[in-house]
Chains A and B, each alone.
Chain A
Amino acid sequence: MKRIGVFVCHCGSNIAHTVDCKQVADEAAAMPGVVHAQEYKYMCSEPGQVLIQEAVKEHNLDGYVVTACSPRMHETTFRKCAGRCGLNPYMVEQVNIREHCSWVHADKEAGTEKAIDLMRMGVAKVLKNEPLKAATIPMTKRALVIGAGIAGIQAALDIADNGFPVTLLDREHSIGGRMAQIDKTFPTLDCSACILTPKMVEVAQHPNVELMTYAEVESVGGFIGSFDVTIRKKARYVDTKRCTGCGACIQKCPSKVPSEFEMEMGPRKSIYVPFPQAVPNKPVIDAPHCRYLQTGKCGICKKICPTDAIRFDDQDEVVTERFGTIVVATGYQQFDISAYEEYGGGRIPDVITGMHLERLLNASGPTSGKIKRPSDGKEPKNIVFIKCVGSRDEAKNRPYCSKTCCMYVAKQATLLKEKLPASKSYIFYMDVRTGGKNYEEFYRRTQVDYDGHYIRGRVSKIFQVGDRLIVRGDDSLLGRPVEIEADLVVLAAGMDPQHDARELARTLGIAYDAHGWYTEAHPKLKPVETQTGGIFLAGACQGPKDIPDSVAQGSAAAVKASALLTKTELTGEPMIAQCNEAMCSGCGLCVTICPYKAITRQPKQERIHGKMRERMVSTINSGLCQGCGACTVACPSSAMNMGGFSDEQIMAEVDALCQR
């Protein structure tokens, strides 16, 4: 029989307060197989670990149980501790008598009884433990960043600066993302383009960066270290190698389309670059709006092009490339204000969103920076902002705060006052949230120096009377209704996940929350990791974020990705499914139930009834398997077993619990 040690941790008074640790140790010592049991105040501390190591040597232990906090806290500590004294790290079981016992019970007698039961289960399990060894996985030293907004650009730059090749992919034909659309940035009011475009140029010219714009991820296979990503490069109809970006084609193109970049407040051509500082600054043809591609008549761009770069026969190109790690930085989209029927969003032309106003404020925007309202081009005098439109509203299934609106409204009110000194901004708010360096100060200035009139309350209705808008709401501080005659209403639309965020998540095999924001591996301690090894998150795809946060996350994700890229091979997780091929009947139920596509049926040569025959058995890809255990439950033959959680171990635990 194995020689087992049991170490009972007090966790100060966290455990000892509700559990008689001495009694637990005494009971443990009496169990068959247990040759040593002792208690100590902090097993995770340096002296605690030394104590374990000495006991392992002195009593020649084959394995041990630590009854302490959750394995989420210290399993690695105690496994490494075993490794240091020559034991296989997987000959250790940590039993949770804190979260599962002392913290949730008040009665010491009952708590002790439960702790003893849990300890007995741990001992029964560790007696069945087998040493586990992790397989190694090769590492492809190349990263993919999906989404080239500010977070993605920052991540790509940092990975590239660390010396690794990185591909920066975006589905739009210019990098820059949302930040490129924004006029000025809070709280310093520096021009967004002025700080973004140098980064765009830097990333485009970096020798380690490959730009892949106008491209979308179609499918992702493989696993950490070798993701096989299939990418669709959309037809541009322009040969980027020949095109010099002279713009002659854009000037001559006769077909005008509302510009998405300008929030459809201005036109663009069918052959276009979205904005003047676009990178790469080479146009693409918008096929559904191109006269030649739709009717076969026109072709002016081809005639005028001095370098013969127009390719009307261009086709989508699908490539599959291998990457070791992926950073997802796909950002957000603005909430669709038409959901607020009472505000006339999308129906009344002078009810616009924050992003519309950004474009109106911008010197290269559709009005060249003049504030003209969309309906008649008049300069507005009274401007009403309404905050929390598509944020903090349970009825619209947006219970979360979009985090940036309080500050961008303050910024826009400030900018409006600077541009139109005679104007007046009224801001309806629920709460003003200005957490962030120099944010609160900025908000104060908006109120004090820029005449921002903040009204606490919700707006119930907006309607048109003549060429003015009547905004009817409630001032909850004064407790009375208010009505403001406005020329322009700006809805501070919140952030939504990208409309296809869920689809991409499923392609990548990463988790998302009820709204479609990507889920980090731990809300505090693993903010840029996902549950899927080798895939990291940056920016607003994980939840509403402003520019500083997005940049910080981009860098953080880059560090995580780079740390992987420095390795030539990775150590896999040994607690994964194992298939007993002798038992496996090859039915393939595990193949269809596996969420990670980690199982395949492979032929196995075998001598059956005196003849060499081939039969199919399940094989597990150790890189893909996440140890979820779905296959072990589905397998009718019990051929599938989980390393560290085998049927025998779990059965032993149940037996131990039932036999008291």
Chain B
Amino acid sequence: MKELHNVNVAMRTLARELLESGTVAGVYGWKKGSRPTLTSPLYIQDAAKADRLAYDQYAVSNLSALLLDHRNNDKKRAIFVKGCDSRGVVRLLQDQQITPEQVLVIGLPCPGMVDEAGSLLTKCAECRFPNPVMADQVLGGVEVSKQPSAPTGVTAEAARKVGVGSRAGERMAQVAQLEGKTAAEKEAYWAEQHDKCIRCYACRNVCPACNCRDCIFDTEKKGWVSKAATSSANAFFAITRAMHVAGRCVDCGECERVCPMDIPIMTVNRKLQQDIEALFGPYDAGVDETVVPPLGRYQTDDPEEFL
């Protein structure tokens, strides 16, 4: 992507400098994969490898959850972020899994991510935060913004053309459609979806909000949850996962993207977002780490409709 040529050069130069000077112990970015349409995560600790860094419209992976590998390490790591990645970093900072001293955040302009066929991903069309919500420094002229905003930086025009954020207003459409169904229809719909689940836990592994030290789905507690991929155990897993990230989901859409069985995971996450906003007012998780998530705070005027 020609707009990103200079950004790529700058990324490599910066990574090399950071590693050579010892400012950081490692750098998270992306590299070109085995196919032209594949740009996958890369972690380098050696300045000589900085030239492998690459960033384009296929660099869809959210890198933030990878920082969890270093949560008990005092050394600093640099991470390149798009808008959605930066919200993941805020998630980890707010959940106190990493400290600001442990991470150097470098913001990038997002051109909008596309699939192999070249069409814009749904999550990018519905994106409200294409610019980094926080960054220690930026490349490619991108602007840091904690408000929903239009794409900025060198790829702003390209992003606008492919339609980044063009369907942000319809992001609850799938939820609304399901809400229109009867309870029996909804049950049947979700049973069909959950039956597909193979319990690979890719959704959990990629999620920056899934940052427990020991995931309950890995624990040995008998009777808590079955590891078998049966209908009821899958439903239990799906609902528990959704409840665990409720009010904390940063809306990056990675869980749904990585799901090999195409389960509409974001529909559940969005439904919870919608309900939480209805109860506690507007809230975007992973934008401002000083605002406590609605389900994690106690206020005397919290709604208590059940009392």
Which residues of A are at the interface with B, using a C-beta cutoff of 8 A? 506, 582-589, 592-595, 601, 608-609, 613, 615-616, 630, 634, 636-638, 647-648, 651-652, 655
Complex: how many Å from CA A292 to CA B296?
51
Looking at the assembled complex, report how far the CB atom of A583 sits from the nearest CB atom of chain B, in whole angstroms.
5
Given contacts A651-B223, A652-B223, contact A584 B213 (CB under 8 A): yes
Contact B212 A585 (CB under 8 A): yes
Given contacts A608-B72, A637-B213, contact A587 B298 (CB under 8 A): no
Complex: how many Å from CA A609 to CA B74?
13
Residues of B136-159 at the interface with A, using a CB-CB cut-off of 8 Å, are none
Q: Which of B95, B221, B224, B295 contacts A585 (CB 8 A)?
A: B95
Contact A587 B96 (CB under 8 A): yes
Closest to A591 in B: B296
Contact A651 B224 (CB under 8 A): yes
Contact A587 B95 (CB under 8 A): yes
User: B230 at interface (Cβ–Cβ under 8 A)?
Assistant: no
Complex: how many Å from CA A421 to CA B211?
83
Chain B CB within 10 Å, residue with most, of A593, A636, A637: A636
Complex: how many Å from CA A594 to CA B296?
9
User: B177 at interface (Cβ–Cβ under 8 A)?
Assistant: no
Contact A593 B300 (CB under 8 A): no
**Which 8 A-B residue pairings sit nearest by Cβ, starting from the closest?**
A637-B212, A589-B296, A587-B95, A636-B244, A585-B213, A595-B298, A608-B72, A592-B292
User: B297 at interface (Cβ–Cβ under 8 A)?
Assistant: yes
Contact B221 A648 (CB under 8 A): yes
Complex: how many Å from CA A637 to CA B300?
26
| 9 pairs, CB–CB < 8 Å, chain A vs chain B | A583-B212, A587-B211, A592-B298, A593-B295, A613-B72, A634-B295, A647-B224, A648-B224, A655-B223
5 more contacts with CB within 8 A, not counting A585-B213, A593-B297, A648-B224, are: A585-B211, A587-B97, A589-B295, A594-B298, A637-B214
A582 CB contacts on chain B under 8 angstroms: 213-214
Residues of B211-239 at the interface with A, using a CB-CB cut-off of 8 Å, are 211-216, 219, 221, 223-224
Q: Which of A585, A595, A651, A652 contacts B97 (CB 8 A)?
A: A585
Complex: how many Å from CA A615 to CA B71?
9
B219 CB contacts on chain A under 8 angstroms: 638
A647 CB contacts on chain B under 8 angstroms: 224
Contact A592 B212 (CB under 8 A): no
Looking at the assembled complex, report how far the CB atom of B88 sits from the nearest CB atom of chain A, in whole angstroms.
15
Chain A CB within 10 Å, residue with most, of B245, B248, B296: B296
Chain B CB within 10 Å, residue with most, of A583, A584, A638: A638
Contact B211 A592 (CB under 8 A): no
A648 CB contacts on chain B under 8 angstroms: 221, 223-224
Complex: how many Å from CA A350 to CA B295?
54
Contact A615 B72 (CB under 8 A): yes
Contact A588 B96 (CB under 8 A): yes
Contact A616 B96 (CB under 8 A): yes
User: B293 at interface (Cβ–Cβ under 8 A)?
Assistant: yes
Complex: how many Å from CA A648 to CA B224?
7
Q: Which of B72, B213, B244, B248 contacts A583 (CB 8 A)?
A: B213
Q: Which of B72, B224, B297 contacts A592 (CB 8 A)?
A: B297
Residues of B262-299 at the interface with A, using a CB-CB cut-off of 8 Å, are 292-293, 295-298
Given contacts A613-B72, A630-B298, A651-B224, contact A589 B216 (CB under 8 A): no
B214 CB contacts on chain A under 8 angstroms: 582-583, 637
Query: Which secondary structure dominates where chain A touches chain B?
Result: mixed
Looking at the assembled complex, report how far the CB atom of B73 sits from the nearest CB atom of chain A, in whole angstroms.
8
A655 CB contacts on chain B under 8 angstroms: 223
Complex: how many Å from CA A472 to CA B96?
68
Looking at the assembled complex, report how far the CB atom of A606 sits from the nearest CB atom of chain B, in whole angstroms.
8
A652 CB contacts on chain B under 8 angstroms: 223
Query: Which secondary structure dominates where chain B touches chain A?
Result: loop
B292 CB contacts on chain A under 8 angstroms: 592
Residues of B90-147 at the interface with A, using a CB-CB cut-off of 8 Å, are 95-97
Complex: how many Å from CA A584 to CA B214?
8
Looking at the assembled complex, report how far the CB atom of B226 sits from the nearest CB atom of chain A, in whole angstroms.
12
A630 CB contacts on chain B under 8 angstroms: 298
Q: Which of A506, A586, A609 contacts B300 (CB 8 A)?
A: A506
Q: Which of A583, A593, A609, A638 contacts B298 (CB 8 A)?
A: A593
B215 CB contacts on chain A under 8 angstroms: 637
Closest to A647 in B: B224
Closest to A585 in B: B213
Closest to B244 in A: A636
- Taken residue by residue from 4 to 47, chain B's Cβ proximity to chain A (1 for < 8 Å, 0 otherwise) reads as 00000000000000000000000000000000000000000000
Looking at the assembled complex, report how far the CB atom of A236 sits from the nearest CB atom of chain B, in whole angstroms.
34
Complex: how many Å from CA A486 to CA B248?
67
Complex: how many Å from CA A267 to CA B279?
52
Complex: how many Å from CA A584 to CA B96?
12
Given contacts A613-B72, A651-B224, contact A638 B216 (CB under 8 A): yes
Contact A586 B96 (CB under 8 A): yes
Closest to A589 in B: B296
Complex: how many Å from CA A638 to CA B213?
11
Looking at the assembled complex, report how far the CB atom of B208 sits from the nearest CB atom of chain A, in whole angstroms.
12
Given contacts A609-B72, A615-B72, contact A592 B95 (CB under 8 A): no
Closest to A616 in B: B96
Looking at the assembled complex, report how far the CB atom of B67 sits from the nearest CB atom of chain A, in whole angstroms.
14
A637 CB contacts on chain B under 8 angstroms: 212-216
Looking at the assembled complex, report how far the CB atom of A130 sits from the nearest CB atom of chain B, in whole angstroms.
14
Complex: how many Å from CA A359 to CA B223?
73
Closest to B223 in A: A651
- Taken residue by residue from 237 to 252, chain B's Cβ proximity to chain A (1 for < 8 Å, 0 otherwise) reads as 0000000110010000
Closest to B297 in A: A592
Complex: how many Å from CA A630 to CA B297?
10
B95 CB contacts on chain A under 8 angstroms: 585, 587-589
A636 CB contacts on chain B under 8 angstroms: 212, 244-245, 248
B96 CB contacts on chain A under 8 angstroms: 586-588, 601, 616
Contact B244 A589 (CB under 8 A): no
A595 CB contacts on chain B under 8 angstroms: 298
Contact A634 B296 (CB under 8 A): yes
Complex: how many Å from CA A282 to CA B213?
63
Complex: how many Å from CA A595 to CA B296?
11
A588 CB contacts on chain B under 8 angstroms: 95-96
Given contacts A585-B97, A609-B72, contact A592 B213 (CB under 8 A): no
Complex: how many Å from CA A589 to CA B248?
11
Looking at the assembled complex, report how far the CB atom of B241 sits from the nearest CB atom of chain A, in whole angstroms.
10
Complex: how many Å from CA A586 to CA B72?
12
Complex: how many Å from CA A62 to CA B219?
27
Complex: how many Å from CA A589 to CA B243?
14
Looking at the assembled complex, report how far the CB atom of A270 sits from the nearest CB atom of chain B, in whole angstroms.
38
Looking at the assembled complex, report how far the CB atom of B307 sits from the nearest CB atom of chain A, in whole angstroms.
12
Complex: how many Å from CA A587 to CA B209?
11
B213 CB contacts on chain A under 8 angstroms: 582-585, 637
Given contacts A637-B216, A655-B223, contact A589 B293 (CB under 8 A): yes
Complex: how many Å from CA A382 to CA B80?
86
Chain A CB within 10 Å, residue with most, of B97, B213, B244: B213
Closest to A596 in B: B298
Looking at the assembled complex, report how far the CB atom of A450 sits from the nearest CB atom of chain B, in whole angstroms.
48
Looking at the assembled complex, report how far the CB atom of B207 sits from the nearest CB atom of chain A, in whole angstroms.
11
B293 CB contacts on chain A under 8 angstroms: 589
B244 CB contacts on chain A under 8 angstroms: 636
B248 CB contacts on chain A under 8 angstroms: 636
Looking at the assembled complex, report how far the CB atom of B90 sits from the nearest CB atom of chain A, in whole angstroms.
13
Closest to B224 in A: A651
A589 CB contacts on chain B under 8 angstroms: 95, 293, 295-296
Closest to A595 in B: B298
Closest to A581 in B: B213
Looking at the assembled complex, report how far the CB atom of A104 sits from the nearest CB atom of chain B, in whole angstroms.
19
Closest to B243 in A: A636
Looking at the assembled complex, report how far the CB atom of B22 sits from the nearest CB atom of chain A, in whole angstroms.
20
